[in-house]
Amino acid sequence: MKTEYWDVSDEQVLDKTGKTISEWIDILDEFKAIEKKSNDVVSYLQVAFNVPRYWARTLTTHYLKSA
């Protein structure tokens, strides 16, 4: 079975972004990401936290799929 690109481990996220998945979930909750367009959330992560685009998209999709 193929793993979806947003199905990542805490270690991967911490290594690539400097924060754990739960820390990103808290940040996205505070940003009210569920109420925004996904491209706006990706942009927010890139600008506010200097998250690389791939990881910003991964975190956004992970968050929205988990909501």
3-state secondary structure the chain: CCCCCCCCCHHHHHHHHCCCHHHHHHHHHHHCHHHCCHHHHHHHHHHHHCCCHHHHHHHHHHHHHHC
Tens-digit pLDDT profile for residues 4-58: 888 899 999 999 999 999 999 999 999 999 999 999 999 999 999 999 999 999 9
Q: What was the pLDDT predicted at 67?
A: 83
Whole-number pLDDT of residue 16: 96
With cut-offs at 50, 70 and 90, classify the pLDDT of residue 2: low
Domain ranges of the chain: 10-66
pTM score, whole prediction: 0.91
